[in-house]
Structure 1
Amino acid sequence: MNTIESIINEIEKTETIIIHRHERPDPDALGSQLGLREVLRQTYPSKSIYAVGESEPSLLFLGEMDRIEDEVYEGALVIVCDTANTGRICDKRYTLGARLIKIDHHPNEEPYGDLVWVDTTASSTSEMMIMLCEEAKDRGYQLLSESALLLYAGIVGDTGRFRHNNTTAQTMQLTSKLIEVGFDQNQFYSQLHKRDLKITRLEGYVLQHFEVIDDAVGVMKLTKDVLNQFNVTSSESSQLVNCFSDVEGLRTWVFFVEDEEKIRVRLRSRGPIINAIAQEHNGGGHPMASGATVYSWSEAQEVVGKLIEACHKEKSV
């Protein structure tokens, strides 16, 4: 019995299923979480199936979170999507269930749970959800318009609209199954790229103030004062992480965003491996896209230094 089949068996024998994902969700976290919820609700109408966690205002068009009491976790199966380590799981009640399953495509640095399905060759956890549906076709699993849109959103988000090198032949083959189901792609992209005026104003600020070091490392520092000036939250600013990524010669770039007592770090790369740097600063992620947390601007400068060093190493190879 393979891992996917074991997961399906756990789902079939449990009446309450609660789906979590990581904090500060991106389209893949929400797409895989809500997509799985819709597939399971369609397949098992008599079961109680919930998706929990904080809402992300910029992605509310994908769907709403469920509000449940602690008692609902008694005897429940908990599934955590798109979350490499327990520290980033949104809604810490994930430990209250009877069984815990991890489904993720990040490097398996912390193999938590009773069942672990990690596939680092998948572009996204949403891609893995299509694989799960394909495996369970004979048990009645099917993709309908709403679940197809959600999983498409997750794949689009993590592949950068199919531009990143994590877009494989398998990614396109599985995505084609979503297209076959049918949903309004124009409406989806309109919602995905819709921005408040304040975000557009902040983007102009970022484009005027980011630095390029050694013609290879892009750096942007957003302080609390700047966020307050534009009335933008730390979470909302994540929409801009790639806004200067097309600058010629850029190999890596980093956004530092001051948030309460810490500074959130968003790292991206076109070549140098950056998740090892993230791991050294309370984070992790993909080799080309990672997140971290630092607690001073001097520590932020250490991260910049490591990015510069990574670019130098790449040149010398």
Structure 2
Amino acid sequence: MKQQIIEKIQQYDTIIIHRHVRPDPDAYGSQHGLKTLIQANFPQKAVYAVGEHDDSLTFMATPDTIADDVYEGALVIVTDTANTERVDDQRYTNGAYVIKIDHHPNDDQYGDLLWVDTSASSCSEMIYELFEEARAQFNWTMNEEVAQLLFAGIVGDTGRFMFPSTTLKTFRTAGDLVEYGFNRNHVFNGMYEMDRKLLNLQGYLYQNFEMTDKGMAYVRLTKEALAQFDATPSEASLLVGSLGNVKGITAWVIFIEEGDSIRVRLRSKGPVINTLAKEFNGGGHPLASGATAYSWEEADRVVARLQEIVCDYKEAQ
């Protein structure tokens, strides 16, 4: 599969790379890392990374803005995106050929060519694996910028190497990337430094979450709460892992109100929760998923279902 992807990259003069909406570091890392990798080895090619920009990821990269006609005859690669509904910029279908590179469960088998590896810690790890294949066969090279982007993506999706998805291969990949000498402090500061307002919002989150005796927890961040701390929904999403620090919590959900919908951020220390996410317009990894609710009544149903999942998990132990 990697061989076929490399051949397609070599074949096309215009390459457009997409990723999922509401991007995280792995979305940017895999997308912009692949873009920069191709540019480093094929400076004559036109390579673009598109999608709505998230200001919290400016330290990594900024997406390109392109006209519709750029898609004519182009190769389109979609990274880190499980299903078509979550592809940021639906023009991805306008290209001549579509490749899917992803590490989520392959429930939506879109594209002309698919490379899905659910054992990978991140899509950024997969891009490094693609590079290794291309280096061995065609002497591709990697620079400091590519290494930094992929490293940030891996760190983001592994929770600083704390999540169970982290493998020996992940550590080896990270070690190889570190050898390129980029500034790791720049990466960690960009990912984990917070404005004071977000720290205050985090305090509100800790003071207002609800927890059941089974270890299921949830908190609602309404528009009013966000306004109180002058925080955007994207900024609030950076706090999704906070409840994982609370002893006794097995799985949790953070609801973040945004416009006419509610972001649903699910996390778990054991129970599989991506099946729940799929019930509510979402998906993701077994222990880290996202979904969307369209009313607080629907959010209550998410809480009830998560409680059922946690109870079943506890009984099975």
Q: Does structure 2 conserve the Cα–Cα contact (< 8 Å) formed by 1:218 and 1:250? A: yes
Q: The residue matched to 1:268 in structure 2 has which SS?
A: strand
Question: Does 306-315 or 160-169 show the bigger shift?
Answer: 306-315
The Cα of 1:188 is off from its aligned counterpart by 1.7
Pairs within 5 Å for 1:151-166: 151-166=150-165
Q: Distance in 1 between matches of 2:168 and 2:21?
A: 30
Structure 2 counterpart of 1:267:
266
Q: Distance in 1 between matches of 2:89 and 2:274?
A: 24
- Spell out structure 1 runs of 4+ moving beyond 2 A: none
Q: The residue matched to 2:170 in structure 1 has which SS?
A: helix
The Cα of 1:215 is off from its aligned counterpart by 4.5
Pairs within 5 Å for 1:181-192: 181-192=180-191
Determine if the alignment matches structure 1 residue 49 to structure 2 residue 25: no
Q: Distance in 2 between matches of 1:67 and 1:312?
A: 47
Determine if the alignment matches structure 1 residue 10 to structure 2 residue 14: no
Pairs within 5 Å for 1:87-102: 87-102=85-100
Paired residue type of 2:2:
I
Paired residue type of 2:181:
G
Determine if the alignment matches structure 1 residue 299 to structure 2 residue 295: no
Structure 2 counterpart of 1:133:
131
Structure 2 counterpart of 1:233:
232
Q: Distance in 2 between matches of 1:152 and 1:173?
A: 11
Q: Does structure 2 conserve the Cα–Cα contact (< 8 Å) formed by 1:198 and 1:231? A: yes
Identical aligned residues as a percent: 52
Paired residue type of 2:304:
G
Q: Does structure 2 conserve the Cα–Cα contact (< 8 Å) formed by 1:4 and 1:135? A: yes
Question: Does 71-80 or 189-198 show the bigger shift?
Answer: 189-198
Q: The residue matched to 2:160 in structure 1 has which SS?
A: coil
Q: How many residues align?
A: 315
Q: Does structure 1 conserve the Cα–Cα contact (< 8 Å) formed by 2:30 and 2:150? A: yes
The Cα of 1:140 is off from its aligned counterpart by 2.9
Q: Does structure 2 conserve the Cα–Cα contact (< 8 Å) formed by 1:198 and 1:232? A: yes
Aligned partner (choices 93, 106, 109) of residue 107 of structure 2: 109
Structure 2 counterpart of 1:171:
170
Paired residue type of 1:314:
Y
Structure 2 counterpart of 1:219:
218
Structure 1 counterpart of 2:122:
124
Q: Distance in 1 between matches of 2:31 and 2:57?
A: 13
Paired residue type of 2:235:
E
Paired residue type of 1:288:
L
Aligned partner (choices 36, 39, 63) of residue 38 of structure 1: 36
The Cα of 1:257 is off from its aligned counterpart by 0.9
Structure 1 length-normalised TM = 0.97
The Cα of 1:244 is off from its aligned counterpart by 2.1
Q: The residue matched to 2:64 in structure 1 has which SS?
A: coil
Structure 2 unpaired stretches of 5+: none
The Cα of 1:197 is off from its aligned counterpart by 2.1
Question: Does 140-149 or 78-87 show the bigger shift?
Answer: 140-149
Determine if the alignment matches structure 1 residue 207 to structure 2 residue 225: no
The Cα of 1:264 is off from its aligned counterpart by 1.0
Q: Does structure 2 conserve the Cα–Cα contact (< 8 Å) formed by 1:143 and 1:178? A: no
Q: Does structure 2 conserve the Cα–Cα contact (< 8 Å) formed by 1:43 and 1:140? A: no
Structure 1 unpaired stretches of 5+: none
Structure 1 counterpart of 2:288:
289
Q: Distance in 2 between matches of 1:263 and 1:61?
A: 27
Q: Does structure 1 conserve the Cα–Cα contact (< 8 Å) formed by 2:214 and 2:311? A: no
The Cα of 1:200 is off from its aligned counterpart by 1.6
Paired residue type of 1:135:
E
Q: Distance in 2 between matches of 1:264 and 1:244?
A: 16
Q: The residue matched to 2:193 in structure 1 has which SS?
A: coil
Q: Distance in 1 between matches of 2:15 and 2:101?
A: 14
Structure 2 length-normalised TM = 0.97
Question: Does 251-260 or 137-146 show the bigger shift?
Answer: 137-146
Q: Distance in 1 between matches of 2:147 and 2:6?
A: 19
Q: Does structure 1 conserve the Cα–Cα contact (< 8 Å) formed by 2:40 and 2:142? A: no
